[in-house]
């Protein structure tokens, strides 16, 4: 039996503040200070439960605001796939105060002060962000607080945006790799909503109504289902005062935010699929079920993926790419709220077929399962994770983006303790997760077969 | 075909040196907490690296070693060529790449640096390139005295100076060479046809690239007004094209316009790129043409100019908040001849542009210029006939 740690412990010495930051008695009446870790301070608005993360970062007068709603395609049911993404688009149609008809569209107002503005939707979350000169913080907060509960969501906007999204869908369908990944998820998952693509199925995009989307919005877009991150060159008190001013008057949700209770049944038996599509290059993809991102094995799986495919010293590079078998070979562990996938993808070099690539990947997986990893490989992978993590935190936006994924996984503190947790991993941890999760009889394997017909 | 040799050269630089093999170098970079990459344009070979503070010395050592003494191992060369071939094949599956490449074949002559050869030609050129070609090119590049190094961040000056001293000594025996001279070529126009279709199977969504040559150099006074003019039309979500083609009519997921391929050495082109579903192709293209024509006929308004100038200034500041982006901006300023303070002066340069400058640029370079239109994807005969009728 493999040892499988449950939830990871929090480190009190580094991750929790010994004393509250100085926010003054006025703000202390409005916010609860929850704690801090790695320079990030967590507050909660007492009036409605909005979680606020603040970090003073950098020397440039630039800040990023990012609001993360804990709703993604994971929360969608049959017939409503793509609703989260559709709603994300509609949120830019604005409110009574900010809309195109008044000449105050959200993009126009924010971009006219030089803000970089956008939003993304993924399996577990939807996020909206603005990166701008710090002096425009209040404008970003004004817009985000207004559209949290006052989005227009009218039928005319739904219809004009429907064709935009269908075009986005069609664009994705052109891409063989994207279709291959959609097939992987819908093959590996038969019950859990991770099985449908975030953009949704075409027929659902075509049929969803303004009322459906209003209902979705009224279910999930509340302060108690959101986290507001403010990172960059802005003073703590100034930031919190503005948050209190803008978000404080919004009520919390009248009903509990519904949870997703579906769990993916254990897979017993390999599943295989093929995608035949016009093109020039093939691919092999594999997916192995993994625990959710808050599980104690998540970091070890991340390090294992680095040992397999992190740079030229990795096993895949040496065995597949450097030998000329594959154009590339990559491993990644998806860190999600619920059980996710450890994914391998490789594309054969000219003259090599998919089956040969699958065999080569299998040889490497068998080797790591049977022989384990070497101590030197582990040390190097830890260094790589540390370097990439630090490089990935080199701006206010980059930090907010990493926090966003940790929030989506279920706990922003996953961001804070990551480097310490990785440093503490042993060879036995990596060997164990390889043996535990890389089982052939619970994997899904797909081939992209290029149909070469010329142009 | 020099560009193909340069492409392969930069991809061989991280494949081992005469001193260490690729695995040892990669291991040392990882242990130092550093990474680096190489790129080439028709004028420069670029390298960029980043490291944790203590890694700067080893990082610079490796970069100088790779630049001065690559090993050009024939086996590695075959592997690199195969990987490159694979990348070309993948790009041939992309409708946006194929539309854009075809446009550049329509508006440039083959001897212009911005000309894009057919994928089949590119593959042939790579297969014909030899290790000797790379050795010759490397010898030429490494003799060049033109060398700009920008460092940004928490810098250990002694480590940098030591690495720099050692690094420069690696090139000492080359004796220097001729400075890089870039022939100035403002215009190379050859409209072979106004609309051209690139037919691809299984690509129901289509990409359109439309544009025309722009005989302006990056160093010309007209460049910034022309840049702001194209930005107003299609530079961001609140531009005319996004507002009218996407937001109001829902015809596309993405549409943008901008200047492309303009350098201090040669002119480039103005381009509109739009992605369209089958059923929206003709209408989307028609509306796009009208928005572009109306804008070039009317010119920009004062409100638009002021708003977009603020956008460009503000977003430039926001973008420079990382060490890597700041280093790249400083390097660009030096290459353009504006010096290392370019990130500070660029915003002033934008501020100084008046609405009259922009409308003069539109009248001179954009108005009434015929557009070449390139469409890539699965196109049925009826649609193809309709597209060609619209010329």
pLDDT attached to residue B189: 55
Show residues of chain B in contact with A99, CB under 8 Å: none
Residue closest to B71 by CA, chosen among B22, B35, B4: B22
pLDDT of B42 reads 75
Going by pLDDT thresholds of 50, 70 and 90, the confidence category of residue B193 is low
Residue A117 forms contact with B (CB below 8 Å): yes
pLDDT at B384 over 60: yes
For testing the chain A interface, which of B20, B30, B98 should be mutated: the one with the most A CBs within 10 Å?
B30
Chain A residues whose CB is inside 8 A of the B87 CB are: 327
Contacts of A250 (CB under 8 A, 6+ apart): A48, A50, A145, A148, A149, A222, A223
In sequence order, the 6+-apart residues with CB closer than 8 A to the CB of A51 are A34, A42, A43, A44, A226, A227, A228, A412
Residue of A nearest to B277 (CA): A167
* Predicted confidence (pLDDT) at residue B261 exceeds the cutoff of 50: yes
Pairing of strands B34-40, B268-276: unpaired
Q: Which residues from A are below 8 Å from B319, CB to CB?
A: 116
CB nearest to A281's CB, from B34, B86, B318: B86
| Cβ–Cβ contact B121 with A under 8 A | no
Of B79, B249, B254, the CB nearest to A324: B79
- Could you tell me if A309 and A316 are in contact, meaning their C-beta atoms sit under 8 angstroms apart? yes
Contacts of A396 (CB under 8 A, 6+ apart): A57, A58, A62, A63, A64, A131, A231, A232, A233, B321
| Least trusted range by pLDDT, from A401-410, B51-60, B334-343, B346-355 | B334-343
- B221 within 8 A of B379, measured Cβ to Cβ: no
Inter-chain CB proximity B321 and A395 less than 8 Å:
yes
Nearest to B373 by CA among B215, B213, B194: B194
Min Cα distance A137 → chain B (Å) is: 13
ipTM surpassing 0.90:
no
Q: What's the first-to-final CA gap in chain A, in angstroms?
A: 55
Nearest Cβ partner for B250 among A113, A160, A451: A160
The Cα of B256 is separated from the nearest Cα of chain A by a number of Å equal to 15
Instruction: For residue B250, list chain A residues with Cβ-Cβ distance below 8 A.
Output: 159-164
Q: Distance of CA B342 to CAs B62, B151, B182, B314, B337, Å?
A: 29, 15, 21, 15, 9
- Which of A90, A133, A170 should one mutate to test binding to chain B, selecting the residue with the greatest count of B CBs within 10 A? A170
Which residue would you say has higher pLDDT here, B317 or A311?
Answer: A311
In angstroms, the CA A349 to CA A60 distance is 45
**Burial of residue B139 (number of CB atoms within 10 Å: 0-12, 13-18, 19+):** exposed
Q: Which residues 18-57 of A have a C-beta within 8 angstroms of B? A: none
Strands B34-40, B45-51: pairing is antiparallel
CA angle, A174 then A179 then A184, to 5° = 175
Cite the beta strand spans of A90-157 per DSSP E: 116-121, 126-133
pLDDT, tens only, B213-232 = 999 998 899 999 999 999 99
Alpha-carbon gap, residue B250 to A159, rounded angstroms: 8
Number of C-beta neighbours around residue B18 at 10 A: 10
Task: Describe chain B by its helix, strand, coil percentages, rounded to 5.
Answer: 55, 15, 30
Which residue is closest to B50 within chain A, CA to CA?
A391
Instruction: Take residue A344 and report the two structure tokens written for it.
Output: 């391998």
CA distance A57 to A394: 9
Is it the case that residue B1 has pLDDT exceeding 90? no
For each of the domains in chain B, give its residue range(s) and CATH number, in order of start: 2-91+113-174 (3.30.830.10), 195-389 (3.30.830.10)
Interface touch B311/A113, C-beta < 8 Å: yes
- Geometric angle at alpha carbon A121, from A120 and A125, rounded to 5°: 115
- Dist CA A346 CA B85 (whole Å): 16
Mean pLDDT over B200-212 rounds to 95
Report the pLDDT value the prediction gives residue B170, as an integer from 0 to 100.
82
Where do the DSSP E strands lie in B111-248? 195-199, 206-214
User: Any CB–CB contact under 8 A between A202 and chain B?
Assistant: no
- Cross-chain residue pair B82–A324, CB shorter than 8 Å: yes
Interface contact A313-B26, CB threshold 8 A:
yes
Q: Mark which residues 17-76 of B lie under 8 Å from A by CB.
A: 22-23, 26-27, 30-31, 33-35, 50, 52
Q: Does B332 touch chain A (CB under 8 A)?
A: no
> What torsion, rounded to 10 degrees, do the Cα atoms A211, A214, A215, A217 define?
160
Please report the DSSP string for B69-86 in residue order. -B---HHHHHHHHHHHHH
- Mean pLDDT for each 10-residue chunk of chain A (455 residues)? 39 48 87 95 97 91 96 96 98 96 93 93 98 95 98 96 96 95 98 97 97 98 98 95 97 97 96 95 97 97 98 96 95 96 96 97 98 97 94 92 97 94 98 97 97 66
Closest CA to A302 of A314, A293, A313: A293
Q: Which domains does chain A have, with CATH numbers?
A: 21-247 (3.30.830.10), 271-451 (3.30.830.10)
**Closest chain B residue to the Cα of A453, Cα to Cα:** B201
| Residue where the block lists tokens 């990166």 | A131
CB A305 within 8 A of CB A333: yes
Concatenated DSSP letters for A317-378? IIIIITTTSEEEEEEEE---SS-EEEEEEEEEPTT--HHHHHHHHHHHHHHHHHH---HHHH
Q: Which of B93, B312, B314 sits opposite A279 (nearest CB)?
A: B93
Structure tokens at B227: 């840049």
Q: Please write down the long-range contacts of B131-137, taking CB distance under 8 Å and 24 or more positions apart.
A: B131/B72, B131/B74, B131/B77, B133/B5, B133/B8, B134/B5, B134/B8, B134/B9, B134/B12, B134/B72, B134/B77, B135/B72, B137/B2, B137/B5, B137/B6, B137/B9
**C-alpha span between B373 and B391 (Å, rounded):** 9
Residues A18, B269: Cα–Cα separation, whole Å:
59
């Amino acid at each position: 039996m493999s040892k499988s740690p449950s939830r990871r412990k929090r480190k009190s010495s580094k991750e929790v503040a010994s004393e509250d930051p100085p926010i003054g008695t006025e703000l202390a009446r409005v916010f609860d200070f929850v704690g801090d870790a790695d320079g990030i301070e967590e507050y909660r608005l007492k009036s409605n439960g909005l979680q606020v993360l603040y970090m003073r970062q950098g020397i440039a007068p630039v800040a990023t605001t990012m609001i993360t709603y804990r709703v993604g395609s994971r929360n969608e049911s049959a017939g409503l796939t793509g609703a989260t993404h559709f709603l994300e688009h509609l949120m830019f149609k604005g409110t009574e105060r900010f809309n195109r008809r008044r000449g105050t569209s959200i993009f126009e107002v924010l971009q006219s002060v030089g803000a970089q503005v956008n939003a993304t939707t993924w399996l577990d979350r939807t996020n909206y962000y603005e990166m701008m000169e710090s002096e425009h913080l209040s404008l970003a907060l004004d817009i985000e607080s207004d559209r949290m509960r006052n989005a227009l969501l009218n039928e005319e906007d739904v219809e004009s945006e429907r064709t935009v999204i269908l075009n986005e869908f069609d664009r994705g369908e052109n891409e063989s790799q994207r279709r291959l990944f959609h097939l992987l998820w819908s093959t590996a998952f038969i019950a859990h909503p991770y099985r449908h693509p975030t953009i949704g199925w075409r027929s659902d995009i075509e049929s969803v109504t303004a009322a459906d989307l209003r209902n979705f919005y009224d279910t999930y877009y509340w302060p108690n289902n959101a986290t507001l991150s403010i990172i960059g060159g802005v003073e703590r008190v100034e930031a919190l005062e503005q948050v209190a001013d803008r978000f404080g008057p919004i009520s919390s949700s009248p009903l509990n935010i519904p949870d997703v209770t579906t769990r993916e049944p254990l897979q017993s038996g390999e599943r295989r699929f093929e995608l035949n599509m016009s093109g020039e290059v093939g691919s092999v993809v594999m997916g192995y079920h993994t625990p959710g991102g808050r599980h104690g094995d998540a970091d070890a799986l991340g390090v294992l993926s680095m040992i397999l495919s992190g740079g030229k010293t990795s096993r895949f590079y040496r065995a597949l790419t450097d030998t000329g078998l594959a154009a590339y070979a990559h491993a990644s562990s998806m860190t999600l709220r619920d059980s996710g996938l450890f994914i391998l993808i490789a594309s054969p070099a000219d003259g090599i077929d998919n089956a040969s690539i699958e065999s080569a990947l299998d040889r490497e997986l068998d080797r790591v399962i049977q022989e384990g990893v070497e101590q030197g490989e582990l040390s190097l992978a830890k260094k790589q994770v540390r370097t990439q993590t630090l490089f990935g935190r080199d701006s206010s936006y980059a930090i907010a983006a990493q926090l966003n994924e940790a929030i989506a996984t279920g706990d922003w503190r996953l961001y804070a303790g990551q480097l310490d947790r990785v440093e503490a991993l042993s060879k036995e941890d990596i060997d164990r997760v390889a043996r535990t999760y890389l089982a052939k009889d619970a994997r899904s394997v797909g081939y992209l077969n290029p149909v070469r017909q010329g142009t | 075909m020099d560009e193909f040799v340069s492409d392969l050269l930069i991809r061989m630089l991280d494949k081992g040196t005469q001193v260490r093999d690729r695995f040892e170098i990669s291991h040392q970079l990882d242990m130092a907490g550093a990474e680096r990459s190489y790129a080439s344009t028709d004028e420069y070979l670029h390298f960029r690296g980043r490291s944790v503070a203590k890694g700067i010395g080893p990082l610079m050592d490796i970069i100088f070693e790779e630049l001065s003494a690559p090993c050009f191992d024939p086996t590695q060369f075959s592997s690199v060529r195969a990987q490159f071939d694979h990348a070309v094949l993948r790009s041939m599956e992309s409708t946006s790449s194929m539309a854009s490449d075809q446009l550049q074949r329509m508006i440039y002559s083959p001897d212009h640096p911005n000309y894009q050869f057919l994928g089949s030609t590119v593959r042939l050129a790579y297969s014909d390139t030899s290790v000797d070609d790379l050795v010759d090119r490397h010898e030429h590049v490494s003799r060049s005295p033109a060398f700009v190094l920008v460092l940004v961040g928490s810098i250990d000056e002694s480590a940098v100076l030591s690495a720099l001293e050692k690094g420069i000594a690696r090139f000492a025996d080359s004796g220097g060479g001729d400075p890089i001279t870039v022939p100035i070529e403002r215009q190379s126009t050859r409209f072979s046809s106004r609309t051209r279709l690139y037919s691809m199977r299984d690509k129901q969504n289509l990409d359109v690239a439309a544009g025309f040559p722009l005989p302006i150099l990056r160093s010309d006074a007209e460049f910034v007004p022309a840049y702001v003019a194209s930005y107003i039309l299609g530079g961001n979500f609140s531009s005319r094209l996004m507002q009218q083609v996407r937001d109001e009519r829902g015809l596309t997921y993405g549409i943008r316009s901008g200047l492309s391929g303009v350098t201090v050495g040669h002119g480039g082109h103005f381009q509109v790129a739009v992605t369209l579903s089958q059923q929206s192709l003709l209408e989307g293209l028609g509306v796009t043409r009208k928005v572009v024509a109306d804008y070039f006929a009317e010119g920009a308004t004062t409100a638009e100019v002021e708003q977009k100038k603020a956008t460009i200034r503000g977003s430039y500041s926001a973008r420079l908040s990382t060490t890597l982006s700041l280093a790249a901006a400083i390097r660009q300023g030096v290459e353009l001849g504006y010096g290392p303070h370019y990130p500070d002066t660029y915003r002033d340069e934008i501020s100084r542009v008046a609405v009259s400058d922009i409308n003069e640029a539109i009248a001179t370079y954009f108005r009434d210029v015929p557009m070449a239109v390139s469409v890539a994807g699965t196109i049925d005969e009826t649609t193809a006939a309709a597209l060609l009728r619209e010329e």
